[in-house]
Amino acid sequence: MRVVVVGGGIVGLASASALADRGADVVLCERDSLGSGSTARALGGIRCQFSTAVNVDLSLASRPVWESFAERFGVDIAFRQTGYLMLARTAETAAGLERQVDLQHERGAETALLAPEEVPDYCGGVDPETVTAATYNPRDGFADPYLALQGFADAAREAGVDIRTNTAVTDVRRTAGRVVGVDVAGDGAPSDGSIDADAVVNAAGPWAGELASMARIDTPIEPQRRQALVVDPERPVPETDPLTIDLETSSHFRPERDGAAVVGGYFDDEPETPDPDSFSESYDVAWAAETVERAGVYCDYFGDGTRLKRGWAGLYAVTPDHHPIVEESMPGFVQAVGFSGHGFQHAPATGQVIAELVLDGEASTVDVSDLGSDRFERDDLLHERNVA
């Protein structure tokens, strides 16, 4: 079977590698360079603390790969399992955390529910007086997205994937209601500008909606801009601290090296939907000031003496319910799109699922039946509380 994977981010590379491992003849088309979309600007968070079963399951199915990445791929991705710490600052959010812990335990995760006075034992900068409850999982953490991308790219090449960068898909070809290939342009385009395929995988990130429309499929995905900062806090952040999220505001931070921290948050004040081909990759000064101020509300690392080092902006590919679409949307057209910021951490399991959908006709690694696009037509949306 010949498969064209569209998109050279980590989801596309993981899918291409999994397909090739199972014997498929795979061509991967990337319009720019590998990882130049969302992967290059990801924070690298890896966690199982989600509020829906399918997200927890994708995390747990991906975790063995992250924990053994160096052995499997020969690349040290600097996976630091210092945990994730989720903070509730209202009674309503605390009740939600209790339900989430029950769900995570049911799925096989080892998340602990913490009382406010326990929180400083896990992150010394958090003021327990601002917290009503918290959760912590010691096997959560973060890794280097660029190094992980390189590991998957090397594995894909070794498995025989034909990776074609600077090669844009310009159309999706159909015959009798089935996708049969793509038209392409650029450095990797053949002389006739087309590649025949038994299946096409849409892993195009912020461009996924555009690619789906070429197949005459309406996919509800829009790019959203997200920003991040690296700061020198007023008090150094220990490298052993967890990635910490304030669920009330989405404010979050994680340790960097030498006492620095990466700080972020989404505060519903971004401009209108950005053009993924032309958006500001620099951080906004006003947003930066508010981000540090919000972190300082619950954590005393970020006082008035905090100094900005650098920052950046990237794109999430977002669906209306912040869950991906993972399905065969029409015969020969399989989608792994709209991860809403969680594509990096779920890439290992997603790659296996895509290989199963293409080659077996159904997924077995994770039950992804809830991730079909028909949920939007039925108004049967999933609800993920932890979207930061």
**Same-domain pairing of 210 and 169:** yes
pLDDT band for position 242 (cuts 50, 70, 90): very high
**Same-domain pairing of 97 and 216:** no
**Same-domain pairing of 37 and 185:** yes
List, for residues 250-274, the tens digit of each pLDDT value: 999 999 999 999 999 987 655 567 8
Strands 222-232 and 261-264: antiparallel
- What is residue 57's DSSP assignment? H
**Same-domain pairing of 373 and 259:** no
How many domains in the chain? 2
Q: What is the mean pLDDT of residues 357-368?
A: 98
Q: What is residue 269's predicted lDDT score, i.e. its pLDDT? A: 56
CA gap 329, 335 in Å, rounded: 7
List, for residues 49-62, the tens digit of each pLDDT value: 999 999 999 999 99
In a domain, 50, yes or no: no
Does the structure show a pLDDT above 90 at 388? Answer: no
Q: What is the mean pLDDT of residues 1-15?
A: 98
Q: What is residue 39's predicted lDDT score, i.e. its pLDDT? A: 87
Give the residue numbers spanning the domain of 183: 2-45+146-220+320-378
Cβ neighbours of residue 191 closer than 8 Å, sequence gap 6 or more:
none
Assign 337 to helix, strand or coil: strand
What does the longest C-alpha to C-alpha distance in the chain come to? 67
The mean predicted confidence, pLDDT, of the chain is 96
In a domain, 104, yes or no: yes
| pTM reported for the whole predicted model | 0.96
The CATH number linked to 305 is 3.30.9.10
The closest of 79, 80, 85 to 240, measured between CA atoms, is 80
**Same-domain pairing of 226 and 370:** no
Q: What is the mean pLDDT of residues 137-158?
A: 97
